[in-house]
Chain A
Amino acid sequence: MDFKLTEREQLLQRAMREFAEKELPPRMEAMEETGEFPVELLKKMGDVGILGVITPPEYGGTGMGNLARIIILEEMGRVCPAIPMALQVHHMATHALSKFGNEEQKKKYLPPLAKGETMGVVAVTDPSGGSDVAGIKTSAKLEGDQYILNGRKCFITNSHVSDHWVVIARTGEGGRGLSAFIVEKNFPGGKPGRKENKVGLRGANTGELVFQNCVVPKNNLLGHEGEGMNIAIQNIVETGRPGMASVALGILNAVLEQAVKFANERTLYGKSISSLQAIQWHIAEIYADLEISRLLVYRIGWMRDNNIRCDTESALAKQFTCEAAVRSARKAIEIHGSYGIMKEYPVQRLLRDALVTIPAGGTGEIAKLVMARHALGMFK
């Protein structure tokens, strides 16, 4: 078992750290203020190859893989977690298209998504709830050569800034009655709806997609009719949950960095507060959360790259890491005392950002159901 990153991965890590540290901080204040994703950054990310990291080279990507993707998201998340949030959902779209698209669809949609000429999103959640995928009400009816979509998707990352939407809609009864569609933003009848005002990850745009007799060509059915549930679940397990776990992992990096810096700089009773055992316990716990999370998240990257199914491991990494980010950010705030709740200090933002990772990409409770189902079957 080799826990060391390869030379390629180490180089990627250094390159991404440099990109993140140069490009993201100047944009963060405006992102926090306005809640807008900096769309102009997309082209730069495309030029560097970040957007096509899991897209095969024949469709304009680098195909560097899932662990590489995790490293990218972690490094971005260490500086500004809202960026990898948007990025990871973009990757979800590239994953769905690469894995389930036909040749024509892949040739049409993947290269511009890899270059940053377009932005993607996967839209699963209906207002009736995201965990209950089988309960999706958004409908798609085949009329001649086109599907007519009606309904509403909510809490969709990149809703207002994306160009290509992979939408799960109902074409029949029950869980097998779902299908996936590639909807372009200018198809008649489809448009972004309400824009959400989140507490954290503010620079990642979230909102609704609304379909009122939206006309989608029959050729834009992704996979086969009835395959929507399978596409949605595989997409969430293989990219959505690892992606959210990576965003939280990035947050954990930043939390430890902020906590240690403050603990070393802050003086009380004539000495640095890092010499106080109460503070050291907090630091040790944050450090442990970071290290455990990194092992869990890197493992799912490695499993995916080796074509090993990782349903349970993906759920575990997502649930643990996102919870770890929240509790660690809270501890970092405690280390900061009153400074921790002041806007001038980043720890308050890190807590707000961490909170948003909890429901995104599947709630902790759903992840626990996946883990329990696996564990309960182990000793039968």
Chain B
Amino acid sequence: MMRIIVCVKPVPDPKYWSRLGLDPKTKTLIREGIPNVINPLDRKALEAALQLREKENGEVITLSMAPPHTTPVLREALAMGADRAILLSDAAFGGSDTLATSYIMAAAIKKMGAYDLILCGDQTLDGGTGQVSAQIAEFLDIPNVMHVSAIETFQQGMFRVRSQIEHGYMVVEIKAPAVFSVVREINEPRYITLMNILESEKKETRIWSSRDLALDEPWIGLQGSPSQMADLLIPETKRKGEILQGDPAKMAERLADRLHRWGYC
């Protein structure tokens, strides 16, 4: 029996990114009118959790911090097969940076009781900081492995995971409970079936506010966020072309040399 918590964040659907704007004053994304989806790497984390549950039995619970209007997106996680969902939602959480977010998420996890594993996506499409999984682990004082591309259990209470590193991967054996954040390569999430859509309607989505959690007020929201957005710029990307000339064999040699220097071969 395994109890797995999956952190799931609703993010603006990448298909509509051309419509996204930046608020010059608040330095935040203008999300109005853009549908939300589950952060794609979080879906993969959920798929990994569901696969572990299929082998080990147990329970998969999703945990999110988002405004209440995002509950339809969380239903998607239930329709993929999660057993229940918890949404942390409160005006007091607004403006939280990754530290305050992780603090709140960790407080919710403590309230949830015993668990074996916490899974996150390596990073989100919108913020992209990749910090939350490590910070949650720190607040809970449990180990964390990032860039995870495979998870297996090999002994009671032990995981063996593959973590991507530059030019390769490392295999880590780690004792439960732990926090893993997963990368794109880990799996291909399953389709949502009609049967599971109907099933998801019987499952519970519970909303917790700041009153439900043991929180120190100075640690949450804007005041609990040491990092603030100073400026946000859209980089200008320009293609730089270079045409090689001369003897074909020498050109090929120079091309191979460049590719090697850039780290492609």
Contact = CB atoms under 8 A, between A and B. Distances in A.
B45 interface: no
Contacts, number: 46
Interface in A1-60: 7-8, 10-12, 14-15, 18-19, 47-50, 52-53
B201 A8 contact: yes
Q: By DSSP majority rule, is chain A's interface helix, strand, loop, or mixed?
A: helix
Interface size class for chain A? 10 to 19
B198 interface: yes
Nearest to B71: A7
Interface residues of B, number: 14
B76 A14 contact: yes
Interface in B54-88: 72, 75-76, 79
A49 B197 CA distance: 10
Contact of B193 (A8, A10, A14, A49): A49
Contacts of B72: 7, 10-11
B75 A11 contact: yes
B194 A62 contact: yes
Nearest to A62: B194
A62 B191 contact: no
Contacts of A68: 194
Given A7-B72, A7-B75, A12 B191 contact: no
Contact of A48 (B76, B194, B198, B200): B194
B194 A53 contact: yes
A371 interface: no
Contacts of A19: 191
Interface string A63-96: 0100010000000000000000000000000000
B195 interface: yes
Residue among B37, B194, B197 with the most chain A CB within 10 A? Answer: B194
Contacts of B191: 15, 18-19, 47-48
24 contacts: A8-B198, A8-B201, A11-B76, A11-B79, A11-B192, A11-B200, A12-B194, A14-B76, A14-B192, A15-B76, A15-B79, A15-B191, A15-B192, A18-B191, A47-B191, A48-B192, A48-B194, A49-B193, A49-B194, A62-B194, A62-B195, A62-B198, A64-B198, A68-B194
Interface of B: 37, 72, 75-76, 79, 191-195, 197-198, 200-201
Given A14-B192, A48-B192, 5 more contacts: A7-B75, A15-B192, A15-B197, A48-B193, A48-B194
